[in-house]
Amino acid sequence: MVSVGILLFPGFQMLSLSTSTVFEFANLEVEQPFYRVDLVSEEGGPVKSSMGFAIDTVPFGPYDTVLVVGDNEVLDATPGLLSYLQHAVVKSRRVTSACTGSFHLAAAGLLEGRKATTHWYHARAFRQAYPTVRLEEDRIFTVDGPLWTSAGMTACLDLALALVENDLGAEVSREVARKLVIYHRRAGGQSQFSALLDIDPKSDRVQTALVYARQHLQEELSVERLADVAHLSPRQFSRLFRSETGHTPAKAIERLRIEAARLMLESGDHPIDIIARDTGFGDPERMRRAFLRAFGQPPQMMRRALQLQA
């Protein structure tokens, strides 16, 4: 049995507790108590959340996996918490954090020289406080040896699903995500920022068309095809799309393709022509022009910069 200690402290953010449900459904999926999850704190007993109500906990103890939750204000860790983390990184298989929990890992000295991430809103403060940490502020989660860190808020679910995948395989993780009605586990290298969120469609019809587009980027995505997915005429769809998003359908599809191409650039050594093909640009020159419009530099230059940074 894999023991998981979710570490709480006064003022913790409640959303991090949703990670426990991922482990609960993993147990249901494999039809055995594979995970044992405890909510732990320095003293044990009730611990107040950022909402003001308390959650009961047990005192610090040994765990296979330790998960430090985040908070809304980047609260200072107590000496007892820091000492516990310093011992945990030696005794536990994995020490992980969600959201601003990475500040506590860094304060304990666990992240020095390692890569990590945190909530984008607190990234600048993190860099100033811990300049020796290789902060990757545009990541959903990072893994560096036994240390796993996730970005803010719902990214803790991606982290928990990745831990389940690490233990039980991709199929179990995928089934857990489906049962939790999560679209899919985002890859660790995926940006914290989403083109879909930025485009911000309002109606179900436009959202459905955009989700369809993101799932079929390799294919021809004409206005007629998207309008058919949205159950509208092409003229109605174009008018509704622009009024809701401020973009034409073609411009929005280009942004989705750029996002997918950038992720492929960052997450592997795929040839440029393969990236262009798999993201629907068709040819490298068309993708190059789109990158110049979006980033002011071609994909090859972005790749060289990433390699130098690595």
DSSP per-residue codes, the chain: -EEEEEE--TTB-GGGGGHHHHHHHHHHHHTS--EEEEEEESS-EEEEBTTS-EEEEEE----SEEEE--BSS-PPPPHHHHHHHHHHHHHSSEEEE-TTHHHHHHHTT-STTSEE---GGGHHHHHHH-TTSEE-TT-SEEEETTEEEE-STTHHHHHHHHHHHHHH-HHHHHHHHHHTT-S-PPPTTS-SS-HHHHH---SHHHHHHHHHHHHTTTS---HHHHHHHTTS-HHHHHHHHHHHHSS-HHHHHHHHHHHHHHHHHHHS---HHHHHHHTT--SHHHHHHHHHHHHSS-HHHHHHHHHHH-
Q: What is the pLDDT of residue 100?
A: 95
Q: Which of 102, 146, 109, 145 is nearest to 123 (CA)?
A: 102
- 89, 99, 123, 290: the catalytic one is 99
Residue entry with tokens 């913790």 = 12
d(CA 255, CA 293): 10
Residues linked to residue 97 through DSSP beta bridges, in sequence order: 68, 149
Q: What is the pLDDT of residue 301?
A: 83
Task: Check: CB of residue 98 under 8 Å from CB of residue 159.
Answer: yes
Q: ∠ CA(201), CA(203), CA(207), 5° rounding?
A: 55
* The CATH number of the domain covering residues in 194-310: 1.10.10.60
Residue 99 known to be catalytic: yes
How far, CA to CA in Å, does 11 sit from each of 28, 46, 221, 277?
Answer: 31, 12, 47, 48
* The CATH number of the domain covering residues in 2-179: 3.40.50.880
d(CA 37, CA 46): 17
pLDDT in tens, the chain (310 residues): 999 999 999 999 999 999 999 999 999 999 999 999 999 999 999 999 999 999 999 999 999 999 999 999 899 999 999 999 999 999 999 999 999 999 999 999 999 999 999 998 898 999 999 999 999 877 888 999 999 999 988 889 999 999 999 999 989 998 998 899 875 555 444 455 556 556 777 788 888 898 899 889 999 999 999 999 999 999 999 999 999 888 899 999 999 999 889 888 877 678 999 999 999 999 999 999 998 888 788 888 878 776 665 5
Q: What is the pTM of this model?
A: 0.66
Q: What is the pLDDT of residue 80?
A: 96
Which regions of the chain carry the CATH code 1.10.10.60? Answer: 194-310
d(CA 301, CA 171): 36
Q: What is the pLDDT of residue 263?
A: 82
Within 10 angstroms of residue 76's Cβ, the number of other Cβ atoms is 11
Which regions of the chain carry the CATH code 3.40.50.880? Answer: 2-179
